[in-house]
Amino acid sequence: MAKIQQALALAMVLTTGALLILAVTLTMPAFGSFPQRQIGESAEDAIGQQILENAPEQTGAANVVTSVVWGYRGYDTLGEATVLFTAVVGVVMLFRVARRSE
């Protein structure tokens, strides 16, 4: 019984691995190519290129990462701060309950 289970597990692992390799080789972009999301037709219109060129005069910050984090993606970072707040509230609640039940 154990032998059959082991063989089944091995077959499952091998099949999944083969499917994953197939998926990577067939559907993923080629190695080394870095497709950016484009606004217009040419590669010059890619979002990353646009941000790199326009960030200093649009946001006035010397650090492009900052202009992305709080300038272009402010909502996202507000959510990030909310995640931290939720984590803190969760930890405080968890340990206060643990302390009361002692």
Residues contributing to the site for another protein (CB under 8 A): 56-57, 59-63, 65-67, 69-71, 74-75, 77-78, 80-82, 84-85, 87-88, 91-92, 94-96, 98-99, 102
Answer yes or no: are the C-beta atoms of 67 and 61 closer than 8 Å. Answer: yes
Query: How far is 59 from 97, CA to CA, in rounded Å?
Result: 45
Q: With respect to another protein, which residue has the nearer C-beta, 6 or 66?
A: 66
Nearest to 73 by CA among 49, 51, 43, 102: 51
Q: With respect to another protein, which residue has the nearer C-beta, 50 or 70?
A: 70
Find the shortest distance in angstroms from Cβ 78 to another protein. Answer: 6
Find the shortest distance in angstroms from Cβ 67 to another protein. Answer: 7
Q: With respect to another protein, which residue has the nearer C-beta, 49 or 59?
A: 59
The secondary structure of 49-77 as a DSSP string is HHHHHHHHHHH--S-HHHIIIIIISHHHH
